[in-house]
Amino acid sequence: MKFSEEQIHRYSRQMILPGIGGKGQRKLAEAKVFIMGAGGLGSPAALYLAAAGVGTIGLADFDRVELHNLQRQILHRTVDVGLPKVESGKRTLESLNPEVKVETYPERITSANIRKIIAGYDLALDGSDNFPTRFLTNDACYFEKKTLISGAILRFDGQLSTFKPHAGGPCYRCLFPEPPPAGTVPSCQEAGVLGAVAGIIGVLQANEALKEILGHGESMAGRFLMFNALNLSFHEVKIQKNPNCLLCGENPRIHELIQYSQSCPGNVAAFCPGNVAA
């Protein structure tokens, strides 16, 4: 593909970067990124991916915009309250960059439809707010051999990692084998979350997605980042593939997608503080 003068102008500040150029910009234009959740993490991630010229963005969210979302879910505006989040998100992304194709999935994402959706994308970002969806996304990415960029937030804390077991790294289940029992991890609704924390982790997810697409820099695969906003600290640990992983281990016990009950752990934040093997 050839870039128009307007495109070169739009992307000039990143096209002059070493490791991007016209070749990298073309990779971005051809890339297809799936985003699970048009909420606190998906919003900033989608905005930066659209601004950077990622050609196709898939947005999946079953919810409608509510007033209490607006404190952190910056894809949506006050006038959007009541609209499906994917519709509001698509409009915002297209107004930012009309060149981006936004595919929307307003339906509930389940074991019945997720693999088919994810198969059409190059990589996935997880910005879901509940464990059933988080594990479903991880497992679907594993079976479809797609890179998963995972983010989680709660209160003043955030976590980030990239999972690509198809390239030898760990998967999400290598760290967190099963969803926690219902009621053991509080939700953002119960415990709260600072909007800026969602912004920081969501933008880091976009950053890692861009690096994976460009094949530039050092991947977060095999690394797990923990962020605390109050003392402004980033702490990183190395993570390894678990040979006993239920999904990607030597003798896997999971051979197909598991539909965990949405009502079981409820609308919990996808967050397992401190439970990380160094």
| Residues engaged in binding Zn ion (CB under 5 A) | 171, 173-174, 245, 247-248
Strand 123-126 vs strand 32-36: parallel, antiparallel, or unpaired? parallel
Residues 141, 82: contact at Cβ < 8 Å?
no
**Smallest gap from residue 238 Cβ to Zn ion (A):** 15
Residue among 206 and 247 whose Cβ is closer to Zn ion: 247
Residue among 13 and 253 whose Cβ is closer to Zn ion: 253
The residue written with tokens 């915009």 in the block is 65
**Phi/psi at 246 (5° precision):** -65, -25
Residue among 174 and 206 whose Cβ is closer to Zn ion: 174
Closest-CA residue to 170 (of 276, 265, 74, 271):
276
**Smallest gap from residue 139 Cβ to Zn ion (A):** 10
**Smallest gap from residue 155 Cβ to Zn ion (A):** 27
**Smallest gap from residue 277 Cβ to Zn ion (A):** 12
Give the residue nearest to Zn ion (CB). 245
Residue among 20 and 248 whose Cβ is closer to Zn ion: 248
The residue written with tokens 């982790």 in the block is 201
What region does 140 belong to: left with phi over 0, alpha with psi -120 to 50, or beta? alpha
Give every CB contact of residue 184 below 8 A, 6+ residues apart in sequence: none
DSSP string, 64-107: BP-GGGTTT-TT--GGGTTSBHHHHHHHHHHHH-TTSEEEEE-S
Residue among 196 and 277 whose Cβ is closer to Zn ion: 277
**Smallest gap from residue 33 Cβ to Zn ion (A):** 22
